[in-house]
Amino acid sequence: MRIALTGGGTGGHIYPALAVAGALRAIDPGIIITYVGTSGGLEADLVGGRGIDFRAVSSRGIMGKSPGAAVAGAASAARGVFEAVSLLRRIRPAAVLGTGGYVSGPVVLAAAILGIPRAIQEQNAIPGFTNRVLGVVANRVFAAFDGTSGFPASKVVVTGNPVREEILRAQRGDSARSLGLDPGARTLLIFGGSRGAKSIVSAGVRLISRGLGEGTQIIFVTGTEYRDFAARSLKSAGIYPGRAGNTILIPYMHDIEAALACSDLVLCRAGGMAVAEVAARGLAAILVPSPNVANNHQEYNARAFARSGAAVVVREGPDFEDRILDEVTSLWNDKRRLDSMKAAARAAGRPRAAVEIAKGLLAISR
């Protein structure tokens, strides 16, 4: 049996597909996985080396583009549909799963044209444009949150977001030692996505400059765009992370599972996958929704997680850095509250989401 997976553009669309791929292989090692992406997308790099058959089709973004770029994007997507129809006819998958990003549009539409069973997975509480369109032709919609809107209710199955097995398996001791940290010390993880978020990086610099007291550690993942800014800012405050012993400065972590495994509190954006991974590891969180995403979906993700008691939401705006300092300090000095939030996160996590989606996909396969 062959299953086709598609999704791209950002890790938030690619890693869910890879998690489902792992679950499918665990259920049946004989299943052949084909990943359909774009040749120039992040998926081409992340899927390589995982023993997955990778194929490329044309597709470009449409929403939020200038009129000229939108027209070019629409033409590319149309070409991608024809290419995907040809590809799916050749490889004959039993089912197709789209996890979002503009490349999933042509591939899932091609599956609908050919009558191949198809499903989509939505990581956020408010779906993006591509998945809203695909929800009309999909046989199943695997949703991350209760109350996800924008899809026919009869198609929706709430599974949570699929988290990679590496996230679940990572051990605190081994992970801390691999990063040169003390497994027994309380640890704060700060990250803002692959490119980073300047507001979070600036707040992180102030936190490190101020310090969290003895016996604490900080993993500061700045994003590639803000690494130099963070390093200069810390240096001007007389702090050299490489020599500090309790602070690590990293532009990007391919093995984020190690950082999550040895952390107690996370300061991060509220993307669907970030929230899912934090919950799966049972970590307390301070979530900063990005104001620059479609439909303000990170705000809804953050609210859903905060309702469980596992997170505090701090929105960007006046006195943002002061509010972050206050929240982190308050939690750091209140172990009982921190432990309560971690327990709430464990209760809210859906570590078997990938398995549930894999089984659901096999159930609709031909």
SS (H, E, C) the chain: CEEEEECCCCHHHHHHHHHHHHHHHHHCCCCEEEEEECCCCHHHHHHCCCCCEEEECCCCCCCCCCHHHHHHHHHHHHHHHHHHHHHHHHHCCCEEEECCCCCHHHHHHHHHHHCCCEEEEECCCCCCHHHHHHHHHCCEEEECCCCCCCCCHHHEEECCCCCCHHHHHCCHHHHHHHCCCCCCCEEEEEECCCCCCHHHHHHHHHHHHHCCCCCEEEEEECCCCCHHHHHHHHHHCCCCHHHHCCEEEECCCCCHHHHHHCCCEEEECCCHHHHHHHHHCCCEEEECCCCCCHHHHHHHHHHHHHHCCCEEECCCCCCHHHHHHHHHHHHHCCHHHHHHHHHHHHHHCCCCHHHHHHHHHHHHCC
324 in the same domain as 179: yes
> 22, 1, 19: which is closest to 11 by C-alpha?
19
Between 255 and 323, the more confident residue is 323
Q: What is the mean pLDDT of residues 112-122?
A: 97
272 in the same domain as 227: yes
Between 360 and 215, the more confident residue is 360
On the question of pLDDT at 230 being above 80, the answer is yes
Q: What is the mean pLDDT of residues 20-44?
A: 92
204 in the same domain as 155: no
Query: What is the percentage of the chain residues whose pLDDT exceeds 90?
Result: 61
pLDDT of residue 73: 55
- 191 pairs with which residues across the strands? 221
Domain of residue 197, residue span: 167-348
On the question of pLDDT at 137 being above 70, the answer is yes
Confidence band, pLDDT 50/70/90 cuts, at residue 51 = confident
321 in the same domain as 230: yes
pLDDT of residue 63: 52
pLDDT of residue 21: 96
Q: What is the mean pLDDT of residues 229-238?
A: 88
pLDDT of residue 61: 59
Residues 6+ positions from 95 with CB-CB distance below 8 Å: 3, 4, 116, 117, 118, 119, 361, 362, 364, 365, 366
Confidence band, pLDDT 50/70/90 cuts, at residue 9 = confident
Confidence band, pLDDT 50/70/90 cuts, at residue 237 = confident
269/196 Cα distance (integer angstroms): 9
114 in the same domain as 148: yes
220 in the same domain as 121: no
41/60 Cα distance (integer angstroms): 10
146 in the same domain as 114: yes
pLDDT of residue 244: 59
Query: What is the percentage of the chain residues whose pLDDT exceeds 70?
Result: 95
Q: What is the mean pLDDT of residues 346-355?
A: 93
Least confident piece of the model among 113-122, 208-217, 267-276: 208-217
pLDDT of residue 34: 97
On the question of pLDDT at 141 being above 90, the answer is yes
Q: What is the mean pLDDT of residues 120-134?
A: 88
Q: What is the pLDDT of residues 73-106, one digit of tens each?
A: 567 778 889 999 999 999 999 999 999 888 999 9
328 in the same domain as 203: yes
Mean pLDDT of the chain: 89
211 in the same domain as 98: no
CB atoms within 10 A of CB 174: 13
pLDDT of residue 36: 96
Number of domains forming the structure of the chain = 2
On the question of pLDDT at 15 being above 80, the answer is yes
> Tokens for 28?
């049946």
136 in the same domain as 202: no
Best mean pLDDT range from 192-201, 213-222, 311-320 = 311-320
156 in the same domain as 204: no
On the question of pLDDT at 110 being above 60, the answer is yes
> Tokens for 332?
């750091």
pLDDT of residue 224: 85
On the question of pLDDT at 65 being above 60, the answer is no
pLDDT of residue 146: 84
On the question of pLDDT at 71 being above 60, the answer is no
pLDDT of residue 59: 75
355 in the same domain as 344: no
CB atoms within 10 A of CB 82: 14
Confidence band, pLDDT 50/70/90 cuts, at residue 150 = confident
pLDDT of residue 263: 95
Q: Is the dihedral of CA 64, 278, 355, 360 positive or negative?
A: negative
CATH number at residue 356: 3.40.50.2000
pLDDT of residue 68: 55
